[in-house]
Amino acid sequence: RKEVEQDPGPFNVPEGATVAFNCTYSNSASQSFFWYRQDCRKEPKLLMSVYSSGNEDGRFTAQLNRASQYISLLIRDSKLSDSATYLCVVDDNFNKFYFGSGTKLNVKP
């Protein structure tokens, strides 16, 4: 079983749409959670950390459900520039990152 699982997509949405991604993780002892964004042939870039209380950064909202061991990312008012692969990342509490395979988002005009 993979440590982190994501729906690979692609999610094809029109500009202005709201889209949500989920991710599940297997290690209940995991402490830190992140969403990274990766553009084609580039390195991952941190989008936001995910806290138990949920957190919001502009059009992006991340939530963590420890009981069900899943993390979500909501993007409102999608822009063309949001097109990318979104990686769910879980830290096993020993500073070791486990990456999901990513969810591809295509925002169309």
Partner 1 sequence: GAVVSQHPSWVICKSGTSVKIECRSLDFQATTMFWYRQFPKQSLMLMATSNEGSKATYEQGVEKDKFLINHASLTLSTLTVTSAHPEDSSFYICSASQSSYEQYFGPGTRLTVT
Q: Smallest distance from the beta carbon of 100 to partner 1, in angstroms?
A: 6
Q: What is the x/- site pattern for partner 1, positions 44-63, by CB under 8 A?
A: xxx--x--------------
| Phi, psi dihedrals of residue 68, rounded to the nearest 5° | -100, -5
- Decide if residue 1 touches partner 1 (CB under 8 A): no
| Those residues with Cβ within 8 angstroms of residue 104's Cβ, 6 or more apart along the chain or in another chain | 8, 9, 10, 11, 84, 85, 86
Q: Does 32 bind partner 1 (CB under 8 A)?
A: yes
Query: Is residue 100 close enough to count as binding partner 1 by CB under 8 A?
Result: yes
